[in-house]
């Protein structure tokens, strides 16, 4: 089980994307298991996405990695969430309790 805490983007309620570290995206993709998320008791299949980007954060061309699922749209923008990741099952429980 891997856990990490991140901040919900203001765009998450619109596009259902939650940014995750590249290392986690790689581990989820390399497991070959379908990925699912559990948000406020709702389980849903999720996609792991990489998007090319030129923002100033990393300088030059780089990628950002996201989980994408409609269930993520309920997360409050700018709130802190904890992801409990079961890499073997490809299952990610998202705890949004403040």
Q: From the CB of 50, what's the least distance to Zn ion, in Å?
A: 11
* 35-64 binders of Zn ion (CB under 5 A): 53, 55, 57
| Segment holding 17, helix H or strand E | strand 17-20
Q: How far apart are CA 18 and CA 48, in angstroms?
A: 10
| DSSP strand pairing (91-95 vs 35-39) | parallel
Taking the least distance from each CB to Zn ion, the nearer of 62 and 89 is 62
Taking the least distance from each CB to Zn ion, the nearer of 1 and 57 is 57
Applying CB under 5 A, the residues found at the interface with Zn ion are: 53, 55, 57
């Amino acid at each position: 089980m891997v856990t990490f805490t991140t901040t919900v983007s203001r765009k998450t309620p619109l596009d259902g994307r939650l940014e995750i570290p590249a290392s986690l995206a790689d581990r989820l993709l390399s497991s070959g298991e379908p990925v699912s998320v559990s948000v406020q008791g709702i389980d849903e299949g999720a996609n792991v996405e990489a998007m090319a980007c030129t923002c100033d954060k990393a300088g030059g061309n780089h990628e950002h990695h996201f989980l994408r699922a409609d269930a993520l749209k309920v997360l409050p923008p700018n709130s802190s969430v904890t992801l409990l990741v079961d890499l073997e099952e490809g299952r990610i429980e998202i705890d949004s309790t403040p």
